[in-house]
Structure 1
């Protein structure tokens, strides 16, 4: 694990944008393309608004999500809508985008979204993660009924989870997919999440799913905090 501490969230976002852009360029240099999976919520907005200006061969990049709420694509809680609004603009408008929930039919039947995504599976090369105050990352929530499957499946892919404390079901990458990425970036800010991170550093436990990514990724996780 590599830890980078910053004095402000703006400084964190700028440093992350530089590092993620560099990781994409390296992947493109090796493969000719790159798949970037990003997180939603409010925290990544500052990163997106900087990353979209980075000098990357965006036409060779496919952007998708590590997880998504099962809501219509134009819903205010949609992570896909957030990506379209803040990342798929300016230079990054040339990138392809794969939504996790594509339409009303997939809202009604999220298993259909999972089937579509897994049938056309492309392993993300670069993954950008956040962390909740309960230690979840992606939509691997400690109390979700599907957590055991999400952590134990050996084939990388997506599944549906039902977090008990969240208002929407989720479509999420499983742990195997997160661990198969070449680069994993984790960011968080504030004292509460710093305390969660400190607990996660004590050792891997399903009670803090983020700890499993941090401890098991073969190349180590890049951790950015403020």
Structure 2
């Protein structure tokens, strides 16, 4: 795991956007398309803004989420809404977005269909991750129902999870799907997140899911 310390968050945003677009370009030199898995939340928004104006073959990039709340794409809590508003605009509007939500189905019912749909997208070409202070990543929350299945070696690509402190069910790329990405990047800000990541490296994966997926990747940090 490579650790990059940035002078400040603005510098981190620019450096991460550059690293991600460079990895996408590298993949597109060798493959017909690149799959790009991204998180929701507040942290990646500025990174998406910076990437959306970069000139690459966006029409050959397939954008998907690392995880999603089981709500329609136009719901206020949808990660898809963030990606569409902040990344899939400008030059990046040409990218293909892989939507997860299926009207009329529960997350648990849709997960097998989505796993089959994503078969052609793996291994993920470029992966961007976030991490919570509890050491979760994507929707792999320590102690959440469904975590053991999502962390298993034979886990499907997409798993339904039900974090007890969250208002909606969620779906998440499984730990093997995340860990198998060709280029992996984790962005964390603040001393508390840095300490949590250091602690995660000493704990079992069930207690610190980030530790199961970021090995061999790049960590981008700023205070």
TM band (smaller chain)? over 0.9
SS at match of 1:120: helix
Partner of 2:125: 125
Structure 2 residues not aligned, in runs of 5+: none
SS at match of 1:101: coil
Partner of 2:173: 173
Of 113, 116, 139, the residue aligned with 1:116 is 113
Following superposition, the deviation at residue 93 of structure 1 comes to 0.4
Describe how 1:1-226 pairs up with structure 2 within 5 A: 1-102=1-102, 104-106=103-105, 109-121=106-118, 122-123=121-122, 124-202=124-202, 204-215=204-215, 220-226=216-222
Following superposition, the deviation at residue 50 of structure 1 comes to 0.5
Following TM superposition, the consecutive aligned residue runs of length 4 or more in structure 1 with deviations greater than 4 angstroms are: none
Say if 1:27 and 1:125, in contact at 8 Å, map to a contact too: yes
Following superposition, the deviation at residue 203 of structure 1 comes to 5.1
Following superposition, the deviation at residue 11 of structure 1 comes to 1.1
Measure, in 2, the Cα distance between the counterparts of 1:155 and 1:56: 33
Say if 2:70 and 2:171, in contact at 8 Å, map to a contact too: yes
Measure, in 1, the Cα distance between the counterparts of 2:115 and 2:135: 26
The number of aligned residues is: 219
Measure, in 2, the Cα distance between the counterparts of 1:155 and 1:119: 13
What is the TM-score when the length of structure 1 is the normalising length?
A: 0.92
Deviations 1:172-224 (A, max 9, x none): 00011011110111011012111101212335532111011133xxxx11100
Measure, in 2, the Cα distance between the counterparts of 1:26 and 1:113: 33
